[in-house]
Structure 1
Amino acid sequence: MSDSASRPATTTTTSLMPTLAVCAVVLGVAAGAIGHLTRGFELWTFEDLRRDQVSRGELRAVPTSLVNADGASMKAFGTAPRGGSTPRPAVYVVDFIYTNCVSVCQTLGAEFYRVQEALRREGRGDVRLLSVSIDPVRDTVPALRAYAALHRADGQRWTISAPTQIEALQKLTGALGVIAIPDGLGGYVHNGAIHVIDSSGVVLGIHEYDEWETALRQARGRWPSPLPLPQAGEGERPSEAQVARGGGDSQ
């Protein structure tokens, strides 16, 4: 083969070298970034990353202004209650809801009622249940009050609330990695789960919706209760048939 025949191939290869070098650098940087974000390629889902942050003590709720079902203003995480008349809880058990949800949020309400009753029997004031709306525009005080009444929330142990401003909600959900996406049907798809958060805002644990017993045990921490956890069905609202037969609550 003549020199003139081999020259174009050599020239083409030479001209591609800078491009290949840049591609190699970009791929290297991308691989490094992915490796860092996935903790050495071990964590691949967003929830995995959130829970890894919890294990490292890196996930923290920001102080948030809320309005509760009574219309009163309050601040959660890192700030003592206004006026100091209410003891500051040591731990919050937190879920994210919207009141017109007909599925998971209602199930969470029933589970939180059972946790509330367990805390009531123990007479504990260091653990507070906190439900935070992800739809503060529609979840006005009357809507919060209706949700609280439906699930028999005791305001001394369980606060039904909404952020006072959209910006406050965005800061809180952004800090916790809670995602709420409109589903196009007037509701949301979200990854709230149940969070156990100390009063300073440090997230101690994230639990699935049906793991309320585990969340309660963690919230009780080193002060385990001698009382058993409420069993399935305990404390649930009686049906109309039960009430007619006299089988409802005797309290």
Structure 2
Amino acid sequence: MKKLGRNTWASIVVLLFGVVLFYVGTDGFRAFTAEAARVERLKADKPKFPQVTLEDSMGRAYPVSEFKGKYVFITFLYTSCGTVCPELEMNMGEVYKKLPERYLGKEIVFLSISFDPERDTPERLDKYKDMFGSDGETWRMARISDQAELDSLLKEFGVIVIPDGEGNFAHNSAFYLVDPEGKLADVMDYKKTGDATRKVLRILEEGEKR
């Protein structure tokens, strides 16, 4: 059997080292981008929705415990966004419309949260919700006026929001599902509305059988 030369062994060591780095950096090959890795960690950690006060499009203010005992299907947005946010909310509307009406407001509530509370007043959110078929009750649009509370929520749920200094934000987007105990149950690709609808429907149907 031919012995491997020093250069060959060196190449093998470098290759193995690279594989280990790739494994660690991608959470065990399950994720190939930083965003996917972030989502994998969130799913594993299942953070609890922090205590915040929401102010919705009707001007009502209430704690997040308003939704205790229900699933909450969440997006994060700002109404001045001209890129991903309209698509995000349109896709949220698709999931909303495909769920049986008997679940809406009783077993699950849809909630769009603005991370631009200074501009996204209740009046502005009220106009914005009409563009997507939000009824303001079973699908609410709200802001969190307290910046510390907002920052806490964004941090817990891994929502990255970077202002550009000109009134716009670079941010990641997804569907977030919070369970009746207030813990993050899942993070879903907002572009795959069919998958999200089937997943939520399955969860709600399983809840009915218990």
Q: Is TM more than 0.5 here?
A: yes
| Matches of 2:43 and 2:92, distance apart in 1 | 24
Q: Which residue of 2 aligns with 1:169?
A: 150
Counterpart residue identity of residue 56, structure 1: A
After superposition, the Cα gap between the structure-2 partners of 1:117 and 1:89, relative to the gap in structure 1 and judged at 3 Å, is farther
Q: Assess if the C-alpha contact under 8 Å between 2:46 and 2:185 holds in 1.
A: no
- Structure 2 counterparts to residues 183-222 of structure 1, below 5 A: 183-222=164-203
- Give percent identity, aligned residues only: 27
Once residues 196 and 118 of structure 1 are traced to their aligned partners in structure 2, the CA distance between those partners, rounded to angstroms, is 16
TM-score (norm 2): 0.75
Say which one has the larger Rg.
1
- Aligned CA RMSD, in angstroms, stands at 2.8
The answer to whether the Cα contact below 8 Å between 1:90 and 1:199 also exists between their aligned partners in 2 is yes
> d(CA) in 2 for partners of 1:187 and 1:52?
28
Equivalent-residue separation in structure 2 for 1:115 and 1:99 (angstroms): 20
Residue 164 to residue 199, structure 1, CA distance change in 2 (3 Å): farther
- Which amino acid in 2 is paired with 1:69? S
User: 3-state SS of the aligned residue for 2:113?
Assistant: strand
Q: Distance between the aligned counterparts of 2:47 and 2:38, measured in 1?
A: 7
Select which of 97, 102, 107 maps to 1:123. Answer: 102
When the two structures are superposed, what TM-score results if normalisation uses the length of structure 1? 0.64
Q: 4+ residue runs of structure 1 moved beyond 3 angstroms?
A: 34-46, 57-60, 221-225
Paired residues in the alignment total 185
Q: What is residue 60 of structure 2 aligned with on the other side?
A: 72
Residue aligning to 1:112: 92
Tell me which of the two structures has the higher relative contact order, counting C-alpha pairs closer than 8 angstroms and 6 or more residues apart. Answer: 2
Deviation of 1:41 after TM superposition, in Å, equals 8.1
Gaps of 5+ in 1: 1-33, 82-86, 226-251
Q: Does the aligned pair in 2 maintain the 1:116–1:154 contact within 8 Å?
A: no
